[in-house]
Amino acid sequence: MGLARAAAERIHSVHRRADGDSELRLLENTPRLSELLGELSFSSHQELGYEYVLLVEGPTDVKAIQQFLRKLGKDHIIVLLPLHGHMPKTDELEELLRISPRLAAIIDSEREAAGAPLRKDRAGFLELCAAKHIPSMSLSLRAIENYFSDAVVKTVFGSAYRGLEPYEKLNSARPHWSKAENWKLAAQMGTDELANTDIGQFLRNL
């Protein structure tokens, strides 16, 4: 699974229903997070030493955060599961906790300015995580792409590109890269630079 996420932009899952009868679907179309986690055979991940399931915003964040975890020496103990922008409700979190009691979550803030409140669904999700004693955070900046310095962006994509302002949307920059390329920037980011961010501090404490 990790290799597929590292190398591919589109991933399909195959679910066997009976002999000679299987269902193929895009990974993000799996209807429930707990079902996806079950299909990924998390129990076998635990046998290999994985300790945490970390919920992240979307598929592009999986690849970027995997790079961060590698820098922190934690990529071998944390399984990443994308939310696709959907904030789980109580029943979904309880299903996940039954599969893995060690659950954590990182979501985008999507703030347009410093101090702006989170959207109701995002704030509600963090409150629910707190009630369930699930370590969770929303990014202090808008999204992961806002954490990459101008120097890192120029190193990876060239001098025509620039780093984003803390609450700037990616598509407002001209030119701008694809969110699917965030992992390239994450790989270029220095370990000390990562450690000074709220993302780095949260991941280090897992």
β-bridge mates for residue 160, sequence order: none
pLDDT tens, position by position, 66-117: 999 999 999 888 888 888 888 999 988 888 888 778 899 999 999 999 999 9
At 99 the pLDDT is 77
51-204 has CATH 3.50.30 classification: no
CA distance 120 to 6: 32
CA triple 155-161-167, angle to 5 deg = 105
Distance of CA 47 to the CA centre of its chain: 23
Query: Which residues sit opposite 13 in a β-bridge?
Result: 25
pTM for this entry: 0.77
Question: What proportions of the chain, in percent to the nearest 5, are helix, strand and coil?
Answer: 45, 15, 40
Q: What pLDDT is attached to residue 18? A: 82
Cis peptide before 88 (omega within 30 of 0): no
Distance CA 4, CA 48 (A): 18
**Cβ 93 vs Cβ 132: under 8 Å:** yes
Residues 87/125, Cβ–Cβ less than 8 Å: yes
Q: How confident is the model at residue 13 (pLDDT cuts 50, 70, 90)?
A: confident
How do the domains of the chain map onto residue ranges? 51-204
**What's the pLDDT score for residue 24?**
84
CB-based burial, 141-173: b 16+ in 10 Å, e otherwise? bbbbbbbbeeebbebbbeeebebbeebbebeeb
Side chain identity, residue 197: T
> Is the per-residue pLDDT at 25 higher than 80?
no
CA-based nearest residue to 108, from 199, 192, 183, 5: 199
Tens digits of per-residue pLDDT, 161-170?
Answer: 999 999 999 9
**79: part of which helix (H) or strand (E)?**
strand 78-82
Task: Reply yes or no on whether the pLDDT at 204 is more than 90.
Answer: yes
